[in-house]
Amino acid sequence: MPNAILRAGPFASSSDSFLNEQDPLIVGSFADVDVYPVNCANHTSSSAWPWRYNDVLSRTLTTHTGCESTPGGDSPTESSVISNSGLVKTTTGNFSASNSATSNRGTTINTGLSFAYQATQSFDIKITYNGLASASAGQTIDPSSNIRFGDSETGGTANGFPSLSGSITRTLPASVVPAFYSATLKVSIGIEFPDDFCTPNPGSANASGTLSVEFL
């Protein structure tokens, strides 16, 4: 029979297994999320130890605003806005996150799910990802546009464009101290300036992404 383990949490980081909830969850950039709710393996039905996870989003929207006069002639102008958000959510079973965004120059969304756990035995999860990028009719897509899935385990990276979908099964090993898992789906698309770049582009660059986690 597996031995009992000392419950950590309710949150943990790589340097401290006994933390209170971080407030706010997002500090600075998307990559700064380093505090995770600690769960009991894959047991999502406990009212005494609710199963929680981080649902985070980083979004960059670049807008074509018109043009400006320079010594060499008119040049197109643009502006970018970066926003980050994150919530700690509770689940009683499988869970997912979906995001979408659009702009008239460049759109990037990073959807992330992450959690920590303790477990006396290993358990399996299945991560499914679906990313889609598109542009309105008549637009030229920037060749650097890409969709990428990755997680905290080795060998899980996938790339594609204009769509990317798939799933991967992970065996999370037993651990008496908090262990961490995270998955991220990045969808990025840009469109070229129009011929008349002094008029803001009426077209659109659209990005959407969904991540889901299933307990097996």
> Could you report the per-residue pLDDT of 70-125, keeping only the tens digit for each?
888 899 999 999 999 989 999 999 999 999 999 999 999 999 999 999 999 999 99
Is residue 117, in this structure, part of any structural domain at all?
Answer: yes
Is residue 145, in this structure, part of any structural domain at all?
Answer: yes
Predicted pLDDT at 3: 55
Dist. CA 69–CA 65, nearest whole Å: 13
Is residue 28, in this structure, part of any structural domain at all?
Answer: yes
Q: In what order do the strands lie in the sheet with 95-103?
A: 95-103, 205-215, 123-135, 163-172
Is residue 165, in this structure, part of any structural domain at all?
Answer: yes
Structural domain including 62 reads: 11-215
Average pLDDT, the chain: 91
| Structure tokens that stand for 22 in this block | 């971080």
Number of structural domains, the chain?
Answer: 1
Is residue 2, in this structure, part of any structural domain at all?
Answer: no
Is residue 101, in this structure, part of any structural domain at all?
Answer: yes
Percent of the chain's residues with pLDDT above 90? 75
Dist. CA 161–CA 145, nearest whole Å: 7
Query: Bridge partners of 174?
Result: none
pLDDT category at 13 given cuts 50, 70, 90 is: confident
Nearest to 41 by CA among 167, 208, 179, 198: 179
Dist. CA 191–CA 179, nearest whole Å: 40
| Structure tokens that stand for 60 in this block | 């960059």
* CA distances for 49 relative to 40, 116, 129, 205, angstroms: 7, 13, 28, 42
Half-sphere exposure at residue 181, Cβ-oriented, CA atoms within 13 angstroms: 24
Dist. CA 100–CA 105, nearest whole Å: 15
Dist. CA 49–CA 124, nearest whole Å: 20
Residues 212 and 141: beta-carbon distance below 8 Å: no
Predicted pLDDT at 74: 92
Dist. CA 151–CA 172, nearest whole Å: 12
Whether this prediction's pTM lies above 0.95 is answered by no
Is residue 4, in this structure, part of any structural domain at all?
Answer: no
Is residue 202, in this structure, part of any structural domain at all?
Answer: yes
